[in-house]
Amino acid sequence: MQRRRFLGLAAAATTLGLTAGLSGCGALGGDSGGDVTLRLVAADYDLTGGDSTKKYWNGLVAAFEAKNPGVKVQVQIESWNDVDRKVADMVKAGQAPDVAQIGAYADYAAAEQLYSADELLSIPVQANFLAPLVDAGEYKRTQYGLPFVASTRLLFYNEELFDKAGVDAAPTTWAELAAAAEKLNKKGVTYPFALPLGPEEAQAETMMWLLSGGGGYIDATGHYNLDSDANTRTFDWLRDNLVTPGLTGPTAPGKLNRKEAFAAFARGEVGMLNGHPSLMQEAAKKGVKVGKVPLPGTDGKAKATMGVADWIMGFKQNGHRKEIGAFLDFVFSDENVLKFAGDNDLLPATVTASATMQADPKSADLREFLEALPDSQLPPVGKTSWAQVSSSVKKDIGRAVQPGVKPAEVLARLARQATAAENAE
């Protein structure tokens, strides 16, 4: 899966003739030929246990229904722990929702259960997605996954702990990162560098490091290459320079989950970690002064960083292509995209909304993330084998950095499993 060349935000907006006023795209008015009710299942993004996600969708639906009197939308919000499974169960039972906003789309695309993007969206809306997210939303060169919201990663550091440890500047190379971790360790910081390779989201932490080391999950031909020389060198370095010297804290990386690492950062117990936008607000609430810089690479800034997207898609089962398309055009209006991204400290998936957020002083804390997203690389979510490969990485990658273990052997085993899963696609 090759990344398309990203057009500058302003240039793309001008070329496409796009403005913030996309909210009228796809409106059906009263000519839909009779009332249609769409069923939407969406994931809950509220980290506090509140109902902000439900309120967002209810408000959006009310505005959409006012513009499209022949269409109603029923909203069902499910936790991230359950939403993918529940949608899968609905599809298996022959009761697919019309629209699902979940974590993966490839299996449904492979089973020919989804409308493609060009079957649903108006041309201006379809052309407005950021290029790396379009690539990641493709199955066999056709886009089925519509990127709903995105994020990327930066190196977070605790400014006060850096000052106390005498670390004068944020690291820009792996050697500088290890040196800073050593100073933090000498000052008694619990986690000089938190390395969450536990089963919660080890596949993401792994990808960040693979990209920083010049490798990745797949090669230029789109095939898995987990045991490449670059990937092996990366995990050799992690084992020898962070884990074995005791710079990753009291919990072994293979047992440390991202949620626990983020919580420790918010408590002021972590010197550095790879963080995403939603951590900033939580850390600030606890009084942590957060510094953030691009992820270091072997000899300087990493050539690429990891991007992440959640997906929204339209199912064919009920045959409501026109109504689904009108609804999704409305979902991707700048007003709606910016509200959801802003409310959840996430990044817009569209060119025009990204440009608007970059220019907004209120979003200054997100600017570095926005700048990193256009050149980011996403996991190979367009491969139906990715779920199985991701699961294997979550389970086993933590062993690769254990002192005395040869990373090459762990990576080779994972590579064999990945190739077998890919061949079974």
What HEC string does 242-277 produce?
A: HHCCCCCCCCCHHHCCHHHHHHHHHCCCEEEEEECH
Structural domain boundaries, residue 228: 154-305+386-423
- Shared-domain flag, residues 135 and 170: no
CB 149: neighbour CB atoms within 10 A?
21
Domain identity same for 300 and 312: no
The pLDDT tens digits for 373-386 are 888 999 999 999 99
Is the backbone of residue 188 left (phi > 0), alpha (psi -120 to 50) or beta?
left
Give the Cα separation of 278 and 424 in Å (integer).
37
Show Cβ contacts of residue 244 under 8 Å, excluding neighbours closer than 6 positions. 403
One domain, residues 336 and 233: no
* CB distance 347 to 277 below 8 Å: yes
Average of per-residue pLDDT across 157-161: 98
Q: Can you give the CATH number for the domain in which 311 is found?
A: 3.40.190.10
Regarding whether 164 and 74 lie in a shared domain, the answer is: no
Residues 251 and 394 both lie in one domain = yes
Confidence bin at 50 (pLDDT 50/70/90): confident
- Give residue 270's pLDDT band: very low, low, confident or very high (50, 70, 90): very high
Global pTM? 0.84
Q: pLDDT band at residue 281, thresholds of 50, 70 and 90?
A: confident
Torsion on CA atoms 362, 368, 373, 375, rounded to nearest 10: 150
Interval 184-241: pLDDT, tens? 999 999 999 999 999 989 999 999 999 999 999 999 999 999 999 999 999 999 999 9
pLDDT at 34: 63
Tell me how many domains the chain contains: 2
66-106 pLDDT, tens digit each: 999 999 999 999 998 899 999 999 999 999 999 999 999 99
**Shared-domain flag, residues 410 and 275:** yes
Least confident of 138-147, 327-336, 371-380: 371-380
Residue 269 lies in a domain: yes
3-state DSSP assignment of residue 188: coil
Q: Per residue in 13-30, pLDDT tens?
A: 433 444 333 333 444 543
pLDDT at 157 over 50: yes
pLDDT for position 12: 41
| Of 15 and 129, more confident | 129
CB count in 10 Å sphere of residue 256: 24
Pair 248, 397 in one domain: yes
d(CA 336, CA 349): 12
**Residue-level pLDDT at 217:** 97
Residues 222 and 203 in one domain: yes
At residue 13, the pLDDT reads 41
How high is the mean pLDDT of the chain? 91
The helix (run of H) or strand (run of E) holding residue 36 is strand 36-43
